[in-house]
Amino acid sequence: MHKMAKSHAIPTVPSIVSMLLLLGILMATITTTGAQIGVCYGTVANNLPSARDVIAMYKQYNIRRMRLYGPNRDALEALRTSNIELMLGVENERLQDIASNQASADNWVRQNVANYGNVNFKYIAVGNEIESGPISQYVGPAMERIQTAITKVGFANRIKVSTAVHPVILQNSYPPSQGSFKQSYRAFMDPVIRFLVRHNSPLLLNVYPYFTYIYNRQSVNLQYALFQYPSVMVQDGQYGYRNLFDAELDAHYAALEKAGGGSVRIVVSETGWPSAGNDGSVTNRDNARIYNQNVIKHVKGGTPRRGGPIETYLFAMFNENLKNGDPTEKNFGLFYPNKSPVYPINFN
C-alpha cells in the first residue's frame, strides 16, 4: 500500500462534508485493497524459504489469504497474530480415520486448530480433489465429524467446513447452463451438497482454464482462456461469456442448482497458469502473468450467472521442485524459491 502524503492544509475543525468524503475514500481503499485474492502455499519442494520468511512475503505483497494443504507446524506458528485468513486442509489419507471416529476428528481439530487460537482460520478443506472411488465415501462423514469437532471447541461461528473438488465431477459443462454432475460422483457429492446447504458453507473448486485449453485446443480459444477475448465467445441464453473461467464456474453453479445446492456459493480454491514446461507457445511467463493478473482484476466482480466478488486462491506461491508428473507441475509458482518474482504481478 502507498503511504498517504502529508497534508499541508488540515483544517482544525473539519466540516461534516469533508469527513464524509474522507470516510468514503477510506472505505473505497478498504474495498479495493481487501481484494478477493489469496495464494496457495504448497510445500512439495526441498529448497523453500523458512515459514517465517514466507509469511513475511505474504505481508510484503499484501496477500491477505492463504491456503495450506495440511497441518504445518512452522507455518501455523508463523501465522499467529498475522491476521492472514487461512484455509487449512485435512489430508486425504486421514479421511477414513476421521470419518469413522469422532475422537480422531476431535484430536485433529484440537492439535491443528484449537492449539492455534490466534491464527485467523477461515475454512477447513476436508480432502482435496477426491476421485469417485473407495475414499470418496468418507468425505461427507469426515466433514460432519470435523464440523462437530470445531463446534466443541467454540470455533463454529468463525470457520466453515468444506471440501475441494475439481471439474472432473462434471458430466456436462458446455454450454454452462447444461452443467451437471456425473452419476458416478453423485454418491460422493450429494451428502457434501446437503452439508454445505445446511451449514451455509461454500463449495471449494479448483479451476484451471489452462488444462481445459491444453486438452481441447481444437475447440477452445487461447485468448478466451486468458481473459483476452474481445467480445462474447459463448452465448448461453441470457448469459454471455467472454472468458473460460466464468464459464467453468457457472457450469458448476448450474450443476449445484440441479442437485439441490442452489444456495451454495463457490470459492475458487485453486487457479493458475504455469510459466514453464512443455509447449513454450502456451506455457510461458507472459501467459502466466497475463492469466494471473487478469484473475486478480476479474474476481472483483462476479460471473454472468452469479454476481458479487469471487473469492479466489492463486496456485501457487512458489515453484515446487519435487512435484510429480508433467514438468509444468513444477512451474506454477508466482515466486522462485529464492523469493524473487517469476514475473511482475500486482496483488492489489
Catalytic site residues?
129, 270
- Rounded Cα distance between 194 and 189, Å, is 9
C-alpha cell read off for 342: 517469476
Strands of 154-310, DSSP E: 160-165, 170-172, 180-181, 203-206, 234-236, 239-241, 266-271
- Residue indicated by cell numbers 458416478: 184
Quick one: which of 347, 212, 345, 217 has its CA closest to 281? 217
Q: CA 215, CA 106: separation in Å to the nearest integer?
A: 42
Distance CA 185, CA 130 (A): 10
Peptide bond into 341 cis (omega under 30): no
Helix 102-112 crosses helix 139-152 at what angle (to 10 degrees)? 60
Which helix (H) or strand (E) segment holds residue 125: the answer is strand 121-128
Eight-class DSSP state of 4: P
Handedness of CA 322, 328, 334, 338 (dihedral sign): positive
Q: Identify the burial level of 79 via C-beta atoms within 10 angstroms of its C-beta, where 0-12 means exposed, 13-18 middle and 19 or more buried.
A: buried
Give the HSE-up count for residue 240: Cα atoms under 13 Å, Cβ half-sphere: 6
DSSP 8-state class, residue 318: B
